[in-house]
Amino acid sequence: MKKTILVMPGLPRCATTTFANILRQNKEIYVPDFKEPHSLIESDVLGVKFSFDGGRYKRFKHGGGLLEKSKYIAQYKKELDIKSTICAVDASTLYSCYLGFLDSLPQCLPDLNYKFLISIRDPWARAVSHYKFSKMRGEEPRELSKALTDELKGSR
């Protein structure tokens, strides 16, 4: 029986963590501790993450998962070689913004079934949730009304 990799490229703040935690409870499904490895995204693309700092954007370091493809491949192959494992999960939300991962997936992990679970959410609820998350992490100093006004003006 062919093993499966379930890719969950949902947008951030759209319940991919909840889905991964539910799947993690099944001993036949491998979900890495680092839910979002982002390993199939080129490193130059990952380096373009910014947060707002007063009147300008600042670059911040990506902080999650395995970034090296070789480690990603080795870990997933190891887990899928276990007889009782039927599925492995990659819940990298940034895949929803970078479709280049689709070319890498069959090259890195051939001979697998590929399934995709794309979670979406009401755009306003997602935006507010993302704003609150960014505020909590210190990436967004503005109040929501100011951030929205700046965005509408194009002045960020």
- pLDDT (tens digit per residue) in 14-30: 889 899 999 999 999 99
Please state, for a pLDDT cut of 70, what percent of the chain lies above it.
Answer: 83
Asked whether the beta carbons of 95 and 45 are under 8 A apart, the reply is no
Global pTM? 0.77
Query: Tokens standing for 76?
Result: 């997933």
| Eight-class DSSP state of 28 | T
Q: Which of 151, 149, 131 is nearest to 141 (CA)?
A: 131
Asked whether the beta carbons of 97 and 109 are under 8 A apart, the reply is no
- pLDDT (tens digit per residue) in 94-111: 888 788 888 889 999 999
Q: Which residues contact 114 (CB under 8 A, 6 or more apart)?
A: 4, 5, 7, 105, 106
Asked whether the beta carbons of 98 and 62 are under 8 A apart, the reply is no
Name the pairing type of β-strands 50-53 and 56-59. antiparallel
d(CA 21, CA 25): 7
